[in-house]
Structure 1
Amino acid sequence: MKIAYLLVFDGLSDWEPGLAVAEINKSNNYQVKTVGFNQKIVITMGGVSIVPDCTLNEINYNDAVILILPGGEMWENDLVMDLIPVVGKFIDLSIPVAAICGPTVFLSRHGFVENVEHTSNGRGYLKSLIGEYKGGNLYVNQPSVSDKGIITANGIASVEFARDILDELNVYDEKTLKSWYDFFKTPWLDD
């Protein structure tokens, strides 16, 4: 079975990847595995305890279909150097990488969006944290952007982020994916 890796760390914004990992894990083709910097229990921003299934050096790239990077304060305060070779290898192997909110800073800071259309929590957000960066001219002011196997989203676009991940992995056909997205985005009113 192919593996969707979800990075877990203390303070991760657990709601941001929630819809995506739930739908991936429900499919018959994929399994979600949590990956940590070490095997220690992490506590999410929502107070959920997670024991990582594996560490960064235990990722099986032959079975990997995506690396999902959720937000959290870590990304703004830490250069996250241990992750640079991992993300680089995913990209070199043409395995998608998806980042929502804070990790868009990481991708921009370390040159991973140099030739890729991308988004974040706003152009000003990125500039305030890293200044000018290679690829800054490819910034797109959209909730979620998918380009060349890199998916980026702002922190309030978890539905759009999930849609782009599900599309990238072909979890649903186009019609089903549209219905899924519309279900979450259509305002329901009582008559």
Structure 2
Amino acid sequence: MKTIFVFLTTGFEEIEAMATVDILRRAGLDVKTVSLTGNKTVVASHGVPIVADLLFEETDFSKAEMLVLPGGTPKYNDHEGMKKEVLAFANKGEKVAAICASPMVLGGLGLLNGKSATCYPGFEQYLAGANLQTSEAVVVDGNITTGRGPGLTIDFALKLVELIAGKEKRDAVAAGLLVN
């Protein structure tokens, strides 16, 4: 089984990261959190410390099925190693997902050129070349999935389950969460 890697950096949005990890794991998928800070304990946007499964430096991305960037901070854009991995992964046609502020990373890498995408209000200017769908909770265009923000994380995570494990698994997880 391949692994879904969810990146964590100082100031990440707790809901977007942890609810996504939770929902993907409820679907029986292999998910690992990856710290970009050089320390396994990463402090989120509201001061909650989270212990990541792996450090970026020790992660074998050849085992990746999907790369996920939660939002909450533009600091994701500062990690050159992560951006290099995301770009190479996406350019091979592999699945990349970003929510809230993090689609700005994809925009900066040129991955949204000609693609439909959404983001947190105010970050549209960073989605270079994208066909903006800012009223949508989640937008999938080819191998790129973008989400709007924290209150829509369940929609985002369930869409990721559907993309990897199918609609039946997505619906089963949603039912268990009491989501219509």
What is the TM-score with the length of structure 2 in the denominator?
A: 0.82
Q: CA RMSD in A?
A: 2.7
Q: Which residue of 1 aligns with 2:123?
A: 125
Tell me, yes or no, if the aligned pair for 2:158 and 2:170 is still in contact at 8 Å: no
Which amino acid in 2 is paired with 1:59?
A: T
Runs of 4+ in 1 over 6 A off after TM superposition: none
- Provide the secondary structure at the position in 1 that maps to 2:154: helix
Kindly state the Cα deviation for residue 104 of structure 1 after the two structures are TM-superposed: 1.1
Q: Distance in 2 between matches of 1:145 and 1:37?
A: 26
Deviations 1:122-169 (A, max 9, x none): 4x5322xx4x82x23x11231110111111011131122112111111
Residues 92 and 175 (structure 1 numbering): CA distance in 2 closer, same or farther, change over 3 Å? closer
Tell me, yes or no, if the aligned pair for 1:104 and 1:152 is still in contact at 8 Å: yes
Match runs of 1:150-169 below 5 Å: 150-155=144-149, 156-169=151-164
Q: Which residue of 2 aligns with 1:170?
A: 165
Answering whether residue 36 of structure 2 is matched by residue 42 of structure 1, we say no
Q: Distance in 2 between matches of 1:158 and 1:62?
A: 27
Which region of structure 1 is more displaced relative to structure 2, 87-96 or 44-53?
44-53
Match runs of 1:75-86 below 5 Å: 75=75, 78-86=77-85
Which amino acid in 2 is paired with 1:56?
A: F
What is the TM-score with the length of structure 1 in the denominator?
A: 0.78
Q: Which residue of 1 aligns with 2:66?
A: 66
Kindly state the Cα deviation for residue 58 of structure 1 after the two structures are TM-superposed: 3.1
Residues 32 and 171 (structure 1 numbering): CA distance in 2 closer, same or farther, change over 3 Å? farther
Kindly state the Cα deviation for residue 60 of structure 1 after the two structures are TM-superposed: 2.3
The alignment covers a number of residue pairs equal to 177
Answering whether residue 144 of structure 2 is matched by residue 140 of structure 1, we say no
Q: Distance in 2 between matches of 1:154 and 1:181?
A: 23
Kindly state the Cα deviation for residue 92 of structure 1 after the two structures are TM-superposed: 2.5
Q: Distance in 1 between matches of 2:47 and 2:172?
A: 31
Kindly state the Cα deviation for residue 55 of structure 1 after the two structures are TM-superposed: 2.9
Q: Which residue of 2 aligns with 1:114?
A: 113
Which residues of structure 2 form unaligned runs of 5+?
A: none
Q: Distance in 2 between matches of 1:10 and 1:74?
A: 10
- Higher-Rg member (1/2): 1
Q: Distance in 1 between matches of 2:176 and 2:137?
A: 14
